[in-house]
């Protein structure tokens, strides 16, 4: 009986230790007043907040916010982008492709190293969730 109690105690401690060593879940709303928006890596009026990860390492998630009528200059990223427009209405165009008008709730995929540009065409700001699988960068095209 004593061995069973000791085994149960060891199992409980192991579970407790492994639970505290696990990564924490994240729930963030773009309109939460506690979200800290930082500057933009592009030469324009925009803001970014990191939701998860480290932008200098693979697998970072961000919110990218543009004010109404703000244009995104032609640029590319070394990482693919998986995006969802959270709010607003966005015009986006990838080099060699037709322009797309994107509404809130829409998914977008941007291939790595493919130049693209855009514009927030709604009265309200455009907020885009972006998941990068490589470190975040932005190379302005000329």
Neighbours of 75 (CB within 10 A): 18
Report residues of the chain scoring pLDDT below 70. Answer: 1-20, 142
Query: Whole-model pTM?
Result: 0.81
Q: Is residue 11 part of a domain?
A: no
Q: Indicate which CATH number applies to the domain containing 89.
A: 2.60.120.10
Q: Is residue 58 part of a domain?
A: yes
Please tell me the predicted confidence (pLDDT) of residue 28.
Answer: 80
- CA–CA distance from 33 to each of 29, 37, 72, 86 (Å)? 9, 10, 25, 16
Q: Is residue 31 part of a domain?
A: yes
Q: Is residue 12 part of a domain?
A: no
Q: Is residue 5 part of a domain?
A: no
For 63-77, what is each residue's pLDDT tens digit? 999 999 999 999 999
Domain coverage including residue 134: 26-140
Q: Is residue 61 part of a domain?
A: yes
Please tell me the predicted confidence (pLDDT) of residue 11.
Answer: 38
3-state helix, strand, coil in the chain (%, to 5): 15, 40, 45
Say how many domains are in the chain.
Answer: 1
Q: Is residue 79 part of a domain?
A: yes
> What's CA 124's distance to the chain center, in Å?
19
């Amino acid at each position: 009986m004593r061995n069973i109690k000791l085994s149960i105690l060891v199992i409980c401690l192991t579970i407790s230790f492994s639970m505290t060593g696990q990564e924490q879940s994240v729930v963030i709303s773009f309109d939460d007043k506690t979200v800290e928006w930082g500057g933009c890596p592009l030469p324009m009026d925009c803001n970014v907040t990191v939701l998860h990860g480290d932008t200098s390492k693979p697998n970072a998630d961000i919110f990218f916010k543009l004010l109404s009528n703000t244009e995104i200059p032609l640029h590319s990223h070394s990482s693919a982008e998986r995006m969802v427009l959270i709010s607003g209405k966005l015009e986006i165009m990838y080099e060699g492709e037709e322009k797309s008008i994107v509404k809130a709730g829409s998914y977008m995929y941007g291939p790595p190293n493919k130049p693209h540009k855009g514009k927030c065409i709604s009265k309200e700001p455009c907020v885009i969730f972006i998941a990068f699988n490589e470190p975040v960068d932005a190379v302005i095209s000329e």
